[in-house]
């Protein structure tokens, strides 16, 4: 190959790689489970009323919208002081579904239209497609409460592990 041709081939491969990255590619790559993440303030402030939702379950724009509307958080006032809010926001953004490379976060992220900023994981297309065999009455069982209570059925949900071996639907 001539030198200039090699150069063109190189450019073409670089730009296709970055196109893949920009389109949120790697849907088949990455780890299957979400990575273990930890932040003391997040754990303290975001697990008082419900389970701790792994940051890889929503894109950064969703977390930002949520964190800047905590005074009206699903009908509750979950306000924080500015320093705590900013620390948790940064942590959530850094580990969000669009900033990670694991199969579930990638798929979840791809199921959300670019124009949408959902606040509920349980309303994403990825979630509904994975739970089409779980009936609405099952989600409403006393032992479960709602679709948002992932940990009722996914024992290791707070660690970001949704593998099938960890699923048990309570009666």
Q: Indicate which single residue of 97, 102, 148, 160 sits in contact with ligand HEC (rule: CB under 6 A).
A: 148
97 binds ligand HEC (CB under 6 A): no
Q: How far is the CB of 69 from ligand HEC (least distance, A)?
A: 11
34 binds ligand HEC (CB under 6 A): no
What's the farthest any 2 CA atoms get from each other in the chain?
Answer: 71
Q: Indicate which single residue of 98, 147, 159, 160 sits in contact with ligand HEC (rule: CB under 6 A).
A: 147
154 binds ligand HEC (CB under 6 A): yes
112 binds ligand HEC (CB under 6 A): no
152 binds ligand HEC (CB under 6 A): yes
Q: How many Å separate Cα 48 from the centre of its chain?
A: 20
Q: How many Å separate Cα 104 from the centre of its chain?
A: 8
Asked if 78 contacts 70 with a C-beta cutoff of 8 angstroms, the reply is: yes
Q: What are phi and psi of 38, to 5 degrees?
A: -150, 140
Give whichever of 19 and 31 is closer to ligand HEC, judged by the CB atom: 31
Within 10 angstroms of residue 79's Cβ, the number of other Cβ atoms is 13
**Tokens standing for residue 74:** 């699903």
Distance CA 29, CA 26 (A): 5
* Residues engaged in binding ligand HEC (CB under 6 A): 45-46, 48-50, 53, 57, 73-74, 76, 78, 88, 104, 120-122, 130-131, 133-134, 138-139, 144, 146-150, 152-154, 162-164, 167, 169
């Amino acid at each position: 190959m001539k030198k200039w041709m090699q150069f063109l081939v190189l450019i073409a491969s670089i730009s296709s790689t970055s196109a893949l990255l920009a389109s949120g590619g790697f849907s088949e790559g990455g780890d299957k489970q979400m990575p273990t993440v930890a932040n003391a303030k997040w754990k303290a402030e975001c697990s008082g009323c419900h389970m701790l939702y792994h940051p890889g379950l929503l894109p950064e724009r969703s977390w930002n919208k949520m964190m800047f509307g905590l005074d009206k958080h699903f009908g509750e006032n979950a306000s924080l002081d500015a320093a705590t809010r900013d620390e948790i926001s940064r942590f959530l953004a850094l580990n969000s579904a669009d900033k990670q490379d694991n199969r579930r976060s990638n798929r979840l992220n791809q199921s959300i239209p670019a124009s949408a900023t959902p606040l509920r994981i349980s309303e994403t297309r990825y979630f509904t497609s994975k739970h089409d065999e779980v009936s609405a009455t099952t989600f409403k069982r006393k032992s479960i409460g709602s679709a948002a209570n992932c940990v009722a059925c996914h024992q290791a949900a707070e660690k970001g592990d949704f593998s099938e071996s960890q699923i048990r639907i309570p009666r």
